[in-house]
């Protein structure tokens, strides 16, 4: 709140005051009052007014300065009411009360949405668990029939992957912590993902080349399995029609981190799309032209990585390769505890 | 299995979904296990002890009592191997179950071949002398990868040994290529279809060399069987 703006706002009041001073001055002159008395009256009236104006200005100034300043500095500006005290002038009080009421009603509004959302998430989780039961019986039934029907098997797997995707989407958005960080063998995770996609890999004649993954990292094995699944799934989906398609998985151990590298010789990602592959529902040129893609897999993978404190990076040359780097930090504190 | 002098393992299924229960029963029976089913969930603990199975497949969501609680109670009386089977895919639940004394934890929907491998692995862990198998007059040393016949010795590669021991453990029934492939991948051998064919023919040649001709038969469209 600048003095200049404040005075501009008060321009009507000031004008009236000046006019009335001139009128008083003219009246006093007309009645031929002593010259000195006239001057003193004018000066006293003038200064009294200026002082009143300044007092009013400073009272308001402090309140509005705090308000605006705090709004600007808070990342959640709706919390500003908590940071200022109730002002001691009438308009301020009105504003303060109004803000309080608005805040309260918005909180109630938000709360009802949160409740709806958490009900919905709960229902989705329950639904996922329910849908897995018939899915399991279908898989068992398929197996017991002893027929080789690759397409229905792959369809079942696809169904399973979509169900998993939504489960982890809910988990990654949920504030609650349903993960457990412990020491996990990378080779085991790589193996489980391989087993999960064995039929797909064999069917699309992609070699699953694993070397040097005998490192241990700190992570949640289920979450990591899901993240790796999404990467491998993409490699299968976007393979090139060449003879020696492969997915190579290796890990590199550094002093303070471990990196898992997943490399394929698929169609790659156009350079104009590469920066957006982790964006929600981003499908890009490949997704639009080649396969139906939801654009959710890598988004969820990135989200989960952020929660677990891992780094996920992607590098690609269109028509040649795609490399995904998953980086896990080593925790020295954890080593000390061991 | 019976003919190799092994006892037929009894597996108890504790699962409230009838369709899954029946399919599981079929799967396990076909794989040479004797299947028991828990009918009375009200008094699960006593039922289990009465049936005294060699292994239990336990669902977490069962009527009357939570599977984890049942497991905890069971561990006060018995060390029967237990594999938890559940649709809840979370590391926390897994850790909890293991801490209550579960031997393994599998999430639905599971690959049936992997389920069989895990069951085999748990049973193997509890039956110690599994490292040396016998087939007719052959001694198979799994750890060393060696088959001996009297003084004669043949060395199998890791892949050949995985295939041979799987066939041996599932003697008298047809083993699908899919099962063999799953077992190989489960042992970190991520090979393709051609390599499997090559490995099987090499294995046949080696067995041929020590006088066992045509003991691995191909059943067209189904798989292989060890006679």
Distance CA A253, CA B33 (A): 44
Give per-residue pLDDT as tens, A20-73: 999 999 998 899 888 888 899 999 999 999 999 999 898 888 888 888 898 899
CB B82 within 8 A of CB B74: yes
For residue B10, what pLDDT is reported? 92
CA nearest A147 in B: which residue?
B222
For residue A44, what pLDDT is reported? 93
Domain holding B202: CATH number? 1.10.10.10
pLDDT tier at A198, thresholds 50, 70, 90:
very high
Q: Could B111 and A196 be called an inter-chain contact, meaning their C-beta atoms sit closer than 8 Å?
A: yes
Q: Is B40 on the interface with A (CB under 8 A)?
A: no
Which of B176, B188, B193 lies at the smallest CB-CB distance from A202? B193
Question: Both B64 and B149 in a single domain?
Answer: no
Domain holding B46: CATH number? 3.40.50.2300
For residue A311, what pLDDT is reported? 93
Q: Output B162 or B151, whichever has higher pLDDT.
A: B162
What is the residue whose two structure tokens read 């010789």?
A: A265
Q: Could B108 and A135 be called an inter-chain contact, meaning their C-beta atoms sit closer than 8 Å?
A: yes
Distance CA A194, CA B202 (A): 25
Question: Both B33 and B93 in a single domain?
Answer: yes
For residue B84, what pLDDT is reported? 92
Query: How much is the mean pLDDT over chain A?
Result: 89
pLDDT above 90: residue B126: no
List chain A residues with CB under 8 Å of B108. Answer: 132-133, 135-136
Residue A222 in any domain: the answer is: yes
For residue A194, what pLDDT is reported? 95
Mean of the pLDDT values across residues B164-171? 88
Residue A215 in any domain: the answer is: yes
pLDDT above 50: residue B112: yes
Q: Of A124, A125, A130, A133, which to mutate for an interface test with B (greatest number of B Cβ within 10 Å)?
A: A133
The B34-37 sheet, strands edge to edge? B34-37, B10-14, B55-59, B82-86, B104-107
Q: Which helix (H) or strand (E) holds A246?
A: strand A246-253
Residue A156 in any domain: the answer is: no
Question: Both B91 and B149 in a single domain?
Answer: no
pLDDT tier at B200, thresholds 50, 70, 90:
very high
Question: Both B71 and B95 in a single domain?
Answer: yes
Q: Could A133 and B17 be called an inter-chain contact, meaning their C-beta atoms sit closer than 8 Å?
A: yes
For residue A325, what pLDDT is reported? 96
Question: Both B83 and B166 in a single domain?
Answer: no
Give per-residue pLDDT as tens, A311-324: 999 999 999 999 99
Question: Both A332 and A197 in a single domain?
Answer: yes
pLDDT above 50: residue B161: yes
For residue B37, what pLDDT is reported? 92
Q: Of A125, A143, A152, which to mutate for an interface test with B (greatest number of B Cβ within 10 Å)?
A: A143
What is the residue whose two structure tokens read 């090979």?
A: B191
Q: Which tokens hold the place of B213?
A: 């001709």
Q: Which tokens hold the place of A205?
A: 């004649």
CA nearest B88 in A: which residue?
A129
Bin A312: left if φ > 0, else alpha if -120 < ψ < 50, else beta.
beta
Give per-residue pLDDT as tens, A68-105: 898 899 888 888 888 888 888 898 899 999 999 999 99
| Residue A178 Cα, gap to closest chain B Cα (Å) | 7
Give per-residue pLDDT as tens, A229-288: 999 999 998 999 898 999 999 999 998 899 999 999 999 999 999 999 999 888 888 877
Question: Both B79 and B176 in a single domain?
Answer: no
Domain holding A233: CATH number? 3.30.565.10
Question: Both B106 and B24 in a single domain?
Answer: yes
Q: Output B157 or B151, whichever has higher pLDDT.
A: B157
For residue B130, what pLDDT is reported? 57
Question: Both B118 and B148 in a single domain?
Answer: no
Distance CA A246, CA A274 (A): 21
Distance CA B208, CA B205 (A): 5
Give per-residue pLDDT as tens, A163-172: 988 988 888 8
Could you please report the per-residue DSSP string of B157-184? PHHHHHHHHHHHHTTTS-B-HHHHHHHH
Q: Is B29 on the interface with A (CB under 8 A)?
A: no
What is the residue whose two structure tokens read 């919390």?
A: A79
Question: Both A70 and A201 in a single domain?
Answer: no
| Residue A128 Cα, gap to closest chain B Cα (Å) | 8
Question: Both B68 and B151 in a single domain?
Answer: no
- Contact residues for A237 (Cβ-Cβ < 8 A; gap 6+): A291, A293
Q: Which residues of A touch B (CB under 8 A)?
A: 128-130, 132-141, 143-144, 146, 148, 156, 160, 164, 167, 178-180, 182, 187, 191, 194-196, 198, 201-202, 205, 207-210, 220-223
Distance CA A55, CA A23 (A): 26
pLDDT above 60: residue A338: no
CA nearest A126 in B: which residue?
B88
Residue A134 in any domain: the answer is: no
Mean of the pLDDT values across residues B193-209? 93
Question: Both A76 and A205 in a single domain?
Answer: no
* Domain boundary residue, one of A51, A85, A119: A85
Number of domains within chain A: 2
Q: Which tokens hold the place of A19?
A: 């006019």
List chain B residues with CB under 8 Å of A138. Answer: 109
Bin A32: left if φ > 0, else alpha if -120 < ψ < 50, else beta.
left
What domain range is B178 assigned to? 132-226
For residue A66, what pLDDT is reported? 87
* Domain boundary residue, one of B107, B126, B145: B126
Which of B109, B176, B185 lies at the smallest CB-CB distance from A132? B109
CB A184 within 8 A of CB A219: yes
Number of domains within chain B: 2
* Domain boundary residue, one of B96, B126, B156: B126
- Contact residues for B69 (Cβ-Cβ < 8 A; gap 6+): none
For residue A11, what pLDDT is reported? 92
| Residue A283 Cα, gap to closest chain B Cα (Å) | 28
Question: Both B144 and B181 in a single domain?
Answer: yes
Q: Which tokens hold the place of A255?
A: 């002093």
Question: Both A216 and A322 in a single domain?
Answer: yes
What domain range is A197 assigned to? 182-337
Q: How far is residue B201 from each of residues A23, A58, A75, A306, B100, measured CA to CA in Å?
A: 120, 96, 68, 48, 45
For residue B128, what pLDDT is reported? 59
For residue B4, what pLDDT is reported? 43
Question: Both B7 and B91 in a single domain?
Answer: yes
For residue B82, what pLDDT is reported? 94
* Domain boundary residue, one of A40, A55, A85: A85
Instruction: Decide: helix, strand or coil at residue A210.
Output: strand
Count of alpha carbons within 13 angstroms of residue A81, beta-carbon side: 14
Q: How far is residue A60 from each of residues A11, A64, A80, A85, A93, measured CA to CA in Å?
A: 17, 6, 17, 13, 11
| Residue A279 Cα, gap to closest chain B Cα (Å) | 26
Q: Which tokens hold the place of A69?
A: 């300043």
pLDDT above 70: residue A154: yes
pLDDT tier at B131, thresholds 50, 70, 90:
low
List chain A residues with CB under 8 Å of B107. Answer: 132
For residue B13, what pLDDT is reported? 94
Mean of the pLDDT values across residues B198-203? 94
CA angle B60, B70, B72 (to 5 degrees): 110
Give per-residue pLDDT as tens, B26-35: 999 988 899 9
* Domain boundary residue, one of A85, A119, A138: A85
For residue B57, what pLDDT is reported? 94
What is the residue whose two structure tokens read 């690609």?
A: A316
For residue A232, what pLDDT is reported? 95
Question: Both B28 and B7 in a single domain?
Answer: yes
Beta-carbon pairs below 8 A across chains A and B:
96
Q: Is B185 on the interface with A (CB under 8 A)?
A: yes
């Amino acid at each position: 709140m600048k003095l200049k703006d404040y005075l501009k706002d008060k321009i009507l009041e000031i004008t009236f005051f000046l006019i009335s001073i001139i009128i008083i001055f003219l009246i006093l002159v007309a009645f031929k009052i002593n010259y000195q008395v006239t001057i003193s009256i004018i000066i006293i009236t003038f200064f009294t007014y200026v002082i009143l104006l300044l007092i009013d200005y400073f009272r308001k100034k402090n309140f509005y300065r705090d308000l605006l300043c705090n709004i600007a500095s808070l990342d959640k500006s709706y919390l500003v009411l908590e940071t200022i005290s109730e002002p001691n002038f009438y308009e301020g009080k009105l504003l303060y009360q109004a803000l309080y009421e608005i805040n309260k009603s918005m909180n109630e509004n938000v709360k009802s949405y949160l409740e709806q959302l958490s009900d919905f998430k709960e229902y989705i989780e329950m639904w996922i668990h329910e849908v897995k039961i018939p899915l399991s019986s279908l898989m068992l039934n398929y197996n017991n029939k002893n027929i080789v029907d690759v397409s229905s098997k792959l369809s079942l797997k696809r169904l399973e992957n979509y169900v998993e995707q939504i489960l982890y989407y809910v988990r990654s958005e949920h504030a609650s912590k349903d993960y457990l960080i412990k020491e996990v063998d990378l080779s085991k995770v790589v193996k489980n993902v391989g087993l999960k996609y064995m039929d797909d890999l064999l069917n699309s004649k992609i070699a699953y080349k694993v070397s040097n993954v005998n490192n241990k990292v700190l992570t949640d094995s289920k979450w990591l399995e899901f993240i790796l699944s999404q990467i491998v799934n993409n490699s299968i989906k976007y393979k090139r029609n060449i003879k020696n398609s492969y997915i190579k998985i290796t890990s590199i151990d550094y002093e303070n981190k471990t990196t898992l590298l997943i490399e394929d010789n698929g169609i790659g990602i156009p350079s104009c799309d590469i920066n957006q592959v982790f964006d929600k529902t981003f499908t890009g040129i490949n997704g639009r032209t080649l396969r139906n893609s939801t654009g959710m897999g890598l988004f969820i993978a990135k989200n989960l990585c952020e929660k677990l404190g891992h780094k996920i990076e992607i590098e690609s040359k269109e028509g040649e390769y795609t490399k995904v780097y998953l980086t896990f930090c080593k925790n020295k504190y954890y080593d000390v505890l061991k | 299995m019976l003919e190799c002098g092994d006892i037929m393992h009894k597996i108890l299924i504790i699962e409230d979904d009838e369709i899954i229960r029946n399919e599981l029963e079929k799967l396990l029976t076909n794989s040479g296990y004797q299947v028991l089913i828990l009918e009375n969930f009200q008094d699960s603990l006593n039922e289990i002890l009465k049936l005294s199975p060699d292994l239990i497949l336990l669902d977490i969501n069962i009527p009357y009592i939570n599977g984890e609680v049942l497991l905890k109670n069971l561990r006060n009386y018995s060390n029967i191997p237990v594999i938890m089977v559940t649709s809840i895919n979370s590391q926390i639940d897994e850790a909890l179950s293991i801490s209550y004394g579960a031997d393994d934890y599998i999430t639905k929907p599971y690959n049936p071949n992997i389920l069989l491998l895990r069951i085999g692995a748990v049973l193997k862990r509890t039956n110690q002398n599994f490292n040396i198998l016998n087939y007719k007059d052959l001694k198979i040393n799994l750890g060393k990868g060696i088959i001996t016949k009297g003084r004669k010795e043949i060395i199998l590669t890791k892949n050949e040994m995985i295939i041979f021991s799987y066939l041996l453990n599932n003697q008298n029934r047809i083993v699908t290529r899919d099962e063999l492939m799953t077992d190989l991948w489960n042992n970190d051998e991520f090979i393709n279809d051609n390599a499997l064919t090559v490995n099987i023919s090499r294995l046949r040649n080696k067995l041929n060399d020590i006088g066992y001709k045509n003991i691995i038969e191909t059943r067209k469209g189904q798989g292989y069987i060890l006679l």
